[in-house]
Amino acid sequence: MVDVDLYDELHNFVFGLADPSSGRAILALPWLKREFYGLPGDWPLFRARLVKPVIHEIGHFLGLNHCGD
């Protein structure tokens, strides 16, 4: 996890990226925090938002790809 904004060649921001071949993943925290949008912090909401990209990247490690539909 890093507390910096991330992007890739296809997107102007990403919540996370995984490389199943290396067994590595990275999550960008800023977009998940209310403070990023000038709002007061909310730990329970941040934690709930964090779980979703973690599960998403775990799916990539398990061999799942993005849905085309």
Q: What is the pLDDT of residues 24-57, one digit of tens each?
A: 999 999 999 999 999 999 999 999 999 999 999 9
Catalytic residue among 57, 63, 64, 67: 57
Say whether pTM exceeds 0.85: no
CA–CA dist 6, 25 (Å, integer): 12
Return the DSSP state at 18: E
Active site residue 9: no
**Domains of the chain: residue spans and CATH:** 1-69 (3.40.390.10)
Task: Please report where in the chains the tokens 């599960």 appear, as a residue.
Answer: 55
Contact 33, 43 (CB under 8 A): no
pLDDT at residue 67 is higher than 90: no
